[in-house]
Structure 1
Amino acid sequence: MDTSAAHDHRPTPAQQALDALAVNAEDQAALDTLAHSDVLVPVPDDALDEEGAEASSLALPVLEQPGGEPVVPVFTTEGELGRLLPFISRYRLVPLGALAAQWPDEDLALAIDGNSAHALTLTSRRVRTLLAR
């Protein structure tokens, strides 16, 4: 019996944390797991690598949700990224807690795994208060 395909569909710890937060938005263990997880931040293919740009700097991709709210999409796996943004082939792997700790003050939501079964969207304030570690 080939079990490799079954392993491919197992939720990652970050996805399990997202599922737990869907049930209880204040689940501290799930928030800790999520804050310590790496996420994929899409880099548009037409983005140029600026000479002299600091390796620690990161340009956040901002999409507009229906209704006009700006949101930064991040993903827990390459598969989730490919399903929602198939035209993106590059990304940066970033610890979510570090990203949250430097979250801009502007009203900018964070969407984790977009329209997937594990999706979670947080307001700017909740990103900074719940995930910044």
Structure 2
Amino acid sequence: MQTPANDNAANPAQRALGTLAENTSDPAALDTLAGSEVLVPVPDDASDEDAAGASLALPVLEQSGGGQVVPVFTSELEMAGLLPFVSRYRLVPLGALAAQWPADDLSLSIDAGSEHRLTLTSDGVRTLLARP
């Protein structure tokens, strides 16, 4: 049996997103996702010091309903698909990002432009992805 080429190209985080698209509570997929590193876009107008500093500024996008979402990505290709104008990013462990997630109504969207995107509320980020 032959595996589709795009399955071979998918990284573990992307495969976990595919699993979660079918079963949102799959514990192995959530663990894989939480243990993965994601690309956090850095605006082109940010200084080099801000882009490489110890603190991380989250990019926040306004949603049509008025909510706010932070987009992160599992690969450069996924990021370029939604934000082609962003040329810099920081690689951050998703579980560590989730452990420090703000308590307000800020959502997280992983691979927002993909068919297997996952968007979580603030509570969902801390509950499902934060790891000690």
TM norm structure 2: 0.89
Residues 8/31 of structure 1: CA separation in 2 closer, same or farther (3 Å cut): closer
Q: 1:83 corresponds to which residue?
A: 81
Unmatched 5+ residue regions in structure 2? none
* Matches for 1:22-101 after TM superposition, within 5 Å: 22-50=21-49, 55-101=53-99
Higher helix content, 1 or 2: 2
Q: 2:124 corresponds to which residue?
A: 126
- Equivalent residue of 2:91, what SS? strand
Give the Å deviation of 1:57: 1.0
TM norm structure 1: 0.88
Identity across the alignment (%): 70
* Matches for 1:92-111 after TM superposition, within 5 Å: 92-111=90-109
Q: Distance in 2 between matches of 1:75 and 1:69?
A: 19
Kindly provide the amino acid, as one letter, of the partner of residue 84 in structure 2: P
Q: Distance in 2 between matches of 1:110 and 1:83?
A: 17
Residues 112/7 of structure 1: CA separation in 2 closer, same or farther (3 Å cut): closer
Q: CA RMSD in A?
A: 1.9
Count of residues paired in the alignment: 127
Unmatched 5+ residue regions in structure 1? 1-5
Residues 7/70 of structure 1: CA separation in 2 closer, same or farther (3 Å cut): closer
Q: Deviations over 1:67-117 (max 9, x none)?
A: 111000000000000010000000000000000000011110000001212
Give the Å deviation of 1:11: 1.5
Q: 1:3 corresponds to which residue?
A: none
